[in-house]
Chains A and B, each alone.
Chain A
């Protein structure tokens, strides 16, 4: 099968991203790793759709890409506003 090398590479990269998300010293390293994991999930779904002969899975990949993007932006906006608020509170004391 011509899909096995790219599937192996995608699974290995998802494992590496998961390791960085578990290790990764700061919050933003974790967000970066989770974002990369989501992008790899989109590619994995697309490859799986063709490997199983069911191109309907491409709709799942597209929906997952949208959810991943919105989720990462929401998490970043939340932590950024929290950081700014904590900075004002530190200056207020």
Chain B
């Protein structure tokens, strides 16, 4: 029985690690700020959900389970707030999303010179 729970926990942890890694690759490789925010969002939603669910199966009914639930709720509340604040600040300071200008995939308006 415990081995079944360990297997489910391992599957959840591995899926969470995969989601986190995909988001990290997207943050490094996508072309402009808003697409990078889109890539980072999966590491703030699916990643903590799967990883903390896998850890909750390891914890069992204990105080650690409650702490994991508190961490998950806190991340689920703060991640959209931080993403909104980031997007709002970038938009107020004049950043516009990069637009594909021709069929070669070249982008323009990379930040319009603000540093």
**Chain A positions near chain B (C-beta within 8 angstroms):** 2-3, 5-6, 8-10, 12-14, 16-17, 19-20, 25-29, 31-33, 35-36, 39-40, 42-43, 46-47, 49-50, 55, 58-59, 61-62, 65-66, 69, 72-73, 76-77, 79-80, 83-84
Nearest-CB distance from A93 to chain B (Å)?
18
In the complex, what residue of chain A is closest to B47 when comparing beta carbons?
A43
In chain B, positions 1-45 with a C-beta closer than 8 Å to chain A are 6, 9-10, 13-14, 16-18, 20-21, 23-25, 27-28, 33, 36-37, 40, 43-44
Report the separation of the CA atoms of residues A45 and B59 in the bound assembly, to the nearest whole angstrom: 15
B43, A36: Cβ atoms closer than 8 Å: yes
B85 at the interface (CB under 8 A from A): yes
List 29 interface pairs A-B (beta carbons < 8 Å), by A numbering: A2-B9, A2-B10, A3-B13, A6-B13, A8-B17, A9-B20, A10-B20, A13-B20, A13-B23, A17-B27, A20-B36, A27-B115, A28-B86, A32-B40, A35-B82, A35-B86, A36-B43, A39-B43, A39-B47, A40-B20, A46-B55, A46-B71, A47-B13, A50-B59, A58-B71, A59-B67, A73-B81, A76-B82, A80-B88
Q: Is the interface of A mostly helix, strand, loop or mixed?
A: helix
A66, B48: Cβ atoms closer than 8 Å: no
Question: Given A26-B111, A33-B27, is A39 in contact with B67 using a C-beta cutoff of 8 Å?
Answer: no
Q: Which 5 A-B pairs have the closest CB atoms?
A: A9-B17, A13-B24, A16-B24, A6-B17, A55-B64
